[in-house]
């Protein structure tokens, strides 16, 4: 044993002596250069090539690093022995990761690649606009030289796509708003976000099941339509115009769409946007797979048109006229770019800018479709016009199920017949009906009884007011909606829109509403 220790001590002595000689003969710069040279020679003869993907690329966060981390999390969780676990802000699940300086083999198209997670201490803090983390992180991808082109052509795209999917699955939806009025946050982002936890889904949405199915299929077609949009040369976007009286579920429909597709929502507050270029910046900062919402578009657009109209002649109020005078395009408002114009907005829905970012849905809502500029209703701008109507019998059955848990067959046929007879004539919104049901949700029979009473009362009042014609109003409005959808295939002129507008009748309706209240 003693001999063993003696030989180890002499070995260490020799090692220290050699090190001193090396340091004296080779100055540090030369040593570093020789290591680099050795590495180069090694790589020349090696059959592998290496790609470094660092966490921070200059001063920006490298998106590819985050994507690789997420992508590997799915395979690492199955095969790894030592994992890192994280739970991101707004995330409802845990993410597995490759532990520091650990590696994993992945297979793509029959080709094996090796990923290594390299973590080293950052040397001295170099000058930077923002503080850098103490650790330098990165992934090193090792692939055979012969597979280089195959892997690089499609593997990295595949990783980005997969990472997006994982992110959407793990992370709750986000609701973005531009309520800061144009000011940017510390990362230069104009949108503020909060987790989006709206529970509305297509199952809970009370509307005609056939119409609902049509909308769901349309959304699904859109989400799966990348190849179609590419082939036809169309920007991958779709516009929905939701219109109807207040409380008929327009906002609930938007939430259901987001939950159905797993998209984030950008709630664009047009009154907070000062000009077209600000609008353009905002829209450029939206991500793909998102729904851009402008609620009550009639109010927002009226504001700017009024401004334009003051400058233009009083008689010409249409988009086409103001467009010709203003020269069109974003930032070309007559007031020198001090307000957003309809043309600025339309540039994003179907102009050249519409293809910046892909897979985006635009949803505009309004209570008064007749007030909208014909340019907005033109086909190609809003691909689908969805009329959210007063509560119909099929919609009522969904509400009864939502609030009271009443399934088909739970209620007496007589009660159902009574409800069916009055619900269309009562012209109550799903929001009104929900209020009645929610009050007595623990006593099913009382709730249904009270609802029937309320519906009868409303129907009676409607009949007395003489507003209702012999024909069923709901059917009539649905017919009108279909007609509108057909009309929108050709540009509408203002006169047409005005013809459709029954203002006198609306005023009467408002009187009745007040009486009922």
Ligand X SMILES: Nc1ncnc2c1ncn2[C@@H]1O[C@H](COP(=O)(O)OP(=O)(O)OP(=O)(O)O)[C@@H](O)[C@H]1O
Positions that interact with ligand X (CB under 6 A): 204-207, 246-252, 367, 388, 430-431, 434
Distance between CA atoms of residues 111 and 290, nearest Å: 34
* Cross-strand bridge partners of residue 57: 60
| Nearer residue to ligand X within complex by CB, 69 or 434 | 434
User: Which residue is associated with the tokens 């609620």?
Assistant: 295
Q: Which is nearer to Mg ion, 69 or 251 (CB)?
A: 251
Distance CA 488, CA 229 (A): 22
Q: How far is the CB of 199 from ligand X (least distance, A)?
A: 10
Q: From the list Mg ion, ligand X, none, which binds 70 (C-beta under 5 to 8 Å, kind-based)?
A: none
CB of 388 to ligand X, least distance (A): 6
Binding partner of 434, given Mg ion, ligand X, none, CB within 5-8 angstroms per partner class? ligand X
Least spacing, CB of residue 389 vs Mg ion, in Å: 15
Q: Does residue number 200 form part of the binding site for Mg ion (CB under 5 A)?
A: no
Nearer to ligand X, 204 or 287 (CB): 204
d(CA 238, CA 383): 6
448 binding partner (options ligand X, Mg ion, none; Cβ < 5 to 8 Å by kind): none
Q: Which residues of 231-262 are buried (b: 16+ CB within 10 A; e: fewer)?
A: eeeebbbbbbbbbbbebbbbbbbbbbbbbbbe
The answer to whether the CB of 55 falls within 8 A of the CB of 132 is no
Give the three-class secondary structure for 117.
strand
Query: Within 10 Å of residue 420's Cβ, how many Cβ atoms?
Result: 14
Which residue of 251, 354, 429, 481 would you call a contact of Mg ion, by CB under 5 A?
Answer: 251
**Least separation, in Å, of the C-beta of 300 and Mg ion?**
14
Question: Rounded to whole angstroms, how far apart are CA atoms 281 and 340?
Answer: 12
At its nearest, how many Å lie between ligand X and the CB of residue 145?
A: 58
- Give the residue with the Cβ less far from ligand X, 302 or 379: 302
Q: How far is the CB of 250 from Mg ion (least distance, A)?
A: 5
Q: Counting contacts by CB under 5 A, is residue 343 touching Mg ion?
A: no
Q: Which stretch binds Mg ion (CB under 5 A): 64-72, 227-235, 244-252, 452-460?
A: 244-252
Shortest gap between Cβ of 272 and ligand X (angstroms)? 18
Evaluate the CA torsion angle 377, 381, 385, 388 in order and state its sign: negative
Minimum Å distance from CB 342 to ligand X? 21
Site string for Mg ion, 203-242 (x = CB under 5 A): ----------------------------------------
Report what 247 binds from ligand X, Mg ion, none; CB cut-off 5-8 Å by kind.
ligand X
| Span between the terminal Cα atoms of the chain, in Å | 101
Tokens 């540090």 -> residue: 28
d(CA 475, CA 478): 5
Given the complex with ligand X, which of 251 and 305 has the nearer CB atom?
A: 251
Q: Which of the listed partners (Mg ion, ligand X, none) does 367 bind, with a CB threshold of 5 to 8 Å by partner kind?
A: ligand X
**What mask of x and - would describe binding to Mg ion in positions 97 to 126, judged by CB under 5 A?**
------------------------------
Q: How far is the CB of 363 from Mg ion (least distance, A)?
A: 11
Beta bridge partners of 358: none
Closest to Mg ion by CB, 80 or 249 = 249
Nearest Cα neighbor of 269 from 247, 300, 243, 291 is 300
Strand pairing report for 56-57 and 83-86: unpaired
With binding defined as CB under 5 A, does residue 429 bind Mg ion? Answer: no
Choices 7-15, 181-189, 251-259, 410-418 (CB under 5 A): range interacting with Mg ion: 251-259
What sign has the CA pseudo-torsion 78, 81, 87, 88? negative
Q: Between residues 53 and 396, which has the closer beta carbon with respect to ligand X?
A: 396
3-state SS track over 248-270: CCHHHHHHHHHHHHCCEEEECCH
Instruction: Give the residue at shortest CB distance from Mg ion.
Output: 251
Interacting partner of 416 out of Mg ion, ligand X, none (Cβ under 5 to 8 A depending on kind): none
User: CB within 8 A of 407, min separation 6: which ones?
Assistant: 401
The partner in contact with residue 207, picked from ligand X, Mg ion, none with C-beta cut-offs of 5 to 8 angstroms by kind, is ligand X
Do residues 382 and 239 make contact, with C-beta atoms less than 8 angstroms apart? yes
User: Which residues, at least 6 apart from 102, have a Cβ–Cβ distance to it below 8 Å?
Assistant: 80, 82, 116, 117
Contact of residue 252 among Mg ion, ligand X, none (CB under 5-8 Å per partner type): ligand X
Least distance (Å) from ligand X to the CB of residue 254? 8
- Positive or negative, the CA dihedral 164, 168, 169, 172 is positive
Q: In this structure, are residues 396 and 206 in contact, taking their beta carbons and an 8 Å threshold?
A: yes
Q: What angle do CA 360, 362, 365 make, to 5 degrees?
A: 160
> What are the φ/ψ torsions at residue 431 (nearest 5 degrees)?
-65, -40
**Of 250 and 307, which has the nearer Cβ to Mg ion?**
250
> Quick one: 190 or 244, whose CB is closer to Mg ion?
244
Q: Closest approach of Cβ 246 to ligand X, in Å?
A: 3
Contacts with Mg ion by CB under 5 A lie at: 250-251
């Amino acid at each position: 044993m003693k001999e063993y220790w003696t030989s180890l001590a002499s070995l260490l002595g020799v090692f220290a002596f050699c090190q001193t000689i090396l340091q004296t003969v080779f100055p540090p710069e030369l040593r570093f250069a020789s290591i680099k040279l050795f590495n180069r020679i090694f790589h020349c003869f090696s059959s592998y090539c290496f790609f470094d993907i660092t966490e921070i690329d200059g001063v920006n966060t490298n998106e590819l690093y985050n994507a690789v981390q997420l992508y590997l999390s799915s395979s690492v969780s199955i095969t790894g022995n030592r994992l890192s676990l994280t739970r991101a802000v707004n995330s409802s699940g845990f993410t597995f990761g490759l532990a520091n300086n650990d590696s994993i083999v992945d297979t793509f198209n029959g080709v094996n690649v090796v990923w290594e997670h390299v973590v080293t201490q950052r040397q001295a803090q170099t000058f930077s606009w923002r503080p850098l983390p103490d650790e330098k992180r990165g992934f090193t991808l090792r692939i055979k030289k012969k597979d280089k082109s195959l892997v690089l052509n499609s593997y990295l795209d595949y990783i980005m796509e997969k990472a997006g999917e994982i992110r959407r699955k793990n992370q709750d939806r986000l609701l973005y708003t531009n309520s800061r009025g144009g000011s940017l946050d510390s990362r230069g982002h104009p949108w503020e976000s909060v987790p989006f936890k709206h529970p509305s889904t297509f199952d809970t949405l009370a509307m005609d099941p056939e119409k609902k199915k049509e909308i769901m299929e349309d959304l699904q077609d859109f989400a799966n339509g990348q190849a179609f949009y590419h082939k036809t040369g169309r920007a991958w976007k779709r516009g929905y115009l939701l219109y109807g009286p207040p409380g008929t579920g327009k906002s609930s429909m938007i939430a259901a769409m987001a939950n159905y597709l797993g998209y984030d929502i950008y709630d664009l507050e047009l009154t907070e946007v000062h000009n077209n270029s600000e609008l353009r910046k905002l829209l450029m900062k939206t991500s793909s797979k998102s729904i851009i919402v402008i609620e009550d578009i009639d109010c927002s657009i009226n504001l700017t048109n009024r401004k334009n109209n003051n400058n233009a002649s009083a008689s010409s109020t249409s988009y086409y006229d103001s467009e010709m005078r203003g020269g069109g395009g974003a930032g070309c408002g007559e007031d020198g770019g001090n307000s957003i114009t309809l043309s600025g907005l339309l540039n994003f829905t179907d102009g050249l800018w519409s293809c910046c970012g892909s897979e985006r849905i635009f949803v505009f809502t309004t209570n008064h479709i007749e007030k909208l500029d014909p340019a907005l209703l033109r086909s190609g701008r809003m691909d689908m016009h969805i009329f959210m109507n007063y509560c119909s019998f099929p919609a009522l059955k969904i509400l009864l199920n939502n609030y009271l848990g009443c399934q088909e067959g739970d209620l007496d046929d007589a009660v159902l017949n009574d409800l069916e007879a009055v619900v269309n004539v009562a012209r109550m919104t799903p929001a009104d009906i929900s209020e009645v049901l929610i009050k007595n949700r623990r006593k099913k029979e009382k709730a249904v009884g009270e609802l029937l009473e309320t519906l009868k009362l409303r129907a009676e009042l409607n009949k007395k007011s003489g507003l209702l014609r012999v024909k069923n109003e709901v059917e009539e409005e649905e017919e009108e909606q279909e007609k509108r959808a057909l009309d929108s295939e050709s540009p509408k002129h203002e006169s047409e829109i005005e013809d459709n507008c029954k203002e006198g009748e609306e005023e009467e309706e408002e009187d009745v509403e007040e009486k009922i209240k």
